[in-house]
Amino acid sequence: MADGAPVGLRYPWETPPEQGRAIEVAPGVLWMRLPLPMKLDHVNIYALDDGDGWTVIDTGFASNKTRGIWRDLMGGPLAGKPVTRVVVTHHHPDHVGLAGWFQTEFGAELITTRTAWLFARMLTLDVQDTPVTETLEFWRSAGMDADVFEQRAAERPFNFGDVVAPMPLGFTRIQQGQSIKMGGRTWDIHMGNGHAPEHATFWSRDDNLVISGDQILSSISPNIGVYATEPMADPIGEWLEACERLKLLARDDQLVLGGHKLPFTGLPTRMRQLIDNHHGALARLSAYLDTPKSAAECFAPLFKRKIGPGEYGLALVEAVAHLSHLYQDGAATRHRRDDGAWVYQRKG
């Protein structure tokens, strides 16, 4: 959910690194960028100098192009030193895509949360030629537009394994409350939720650095969606809980290194904005539910802009998430419409 360039945030670098190049954002910490074939056209990756090798944070999609860029980076900014560890913040494919490649080709250690590893490995093994019955039912229950439904029901769906390299057995688990040494610093590990379950963030004890993945971004809010895998999940509630918890760690001087967009300072302001953004969306949505509406009928109050075909799927799962949060919080009722869609109405 886009919410503009916030007031009070500062961006030390106005221009991201060019493909195959790096910007040193702190001693021994390199910021690099990989392309993505979608509207959000990039993912940020970071490399931390451990002396005899590098710890890499996130990896980009698995593709021949991305592998080639990585080889250029390893021979260029990484100066030929080996990538010995790959830390994956969360299980989404733009972050975990080449983790298995680093393990297989370079013998790197994979470090991530148990949830991220289980999700990623499960999804790489779950290849579908057509949408399964549960997915079709989920789309109907969300009130997906009939033309969109007909088209997507006949298409090969996005498969995780299309853009994520095979993941061998074996990883090193990190969890809430632990610490990890990377780049000559000790980092406290704090888990986010909402955008992805058990999303790892890293807070340096030795200077002002925060590695936030997609949990905290500078100028967009990460997508928070409900999917057929867990149709009664409440990621909005989990997101708000995580934001309230993480904001207690925030300082104005911290340099936040996110998974997308630009590094920034002014974290206390940004945490307030991220929290207020979703409370505001819930309030607008509640006001809109004076009559029963499905998720597909609620884009206008949530996003305040036209949703195009490329954004439709993400918008739909985010609308489901907000409606289900109101329902599970006791602020809305729901019932099945004749077409199979859940429709929600404000209580009172």
Handedness of CA 57, 192, 166, 16 (dihedral sign): negative
pTM attached to this predicted model: 0.95
Q: What is the DSSP letter of 205?
A: S
Handedness of CA 214, 215, 221, 222 (dihedral sign): positive
Within 13 Å of residue 95, how many CA atoms lie on the same side as its CB? 25
Question: Average pLDDT of 69-94?
Answer: 97
| Residues 282-295: tens digit of each pLDDT | 999 999 999 999 99
Question: Which among 250, 233, 211 is positioned nearest to 321, based on CA atoms?
Answer: 233
Whole-number Å distance between alpha carbons of 215 and 165 = 23
Band (6; pLDDT cuts 50, 70, 90): very low
- Contact between 203 and 249 under an 8 Å Cβ cutoff? The reply is yes
| Residues 316-331: tens digit of each pLDDT | 999 999 999 999 999 9
Question: Average pLDDT of 47-73?
Answer: 98
Instruction: Compute the C-alpha angle 178/213/255, nearest 5°.
Output: 85
Q: Does the pLDDT of residue 1 top 60, yes or no?
A: no
- Contact between 216 and 271 under an 8 Å Cβ cutoff? The reply is yes
Instruction: Write down the residue that tokens 């088209």 correspond to.
Output: 151
Domains of the chain by start residue, with CATH: 23-130+159-287 (3.60.15.10)
Q: Over the Cα atoms of the chain, what is R_g? A: 20
Q: Is 207 left (phi over 0), alpha (psi -120 to 50) or beta?
A: beta
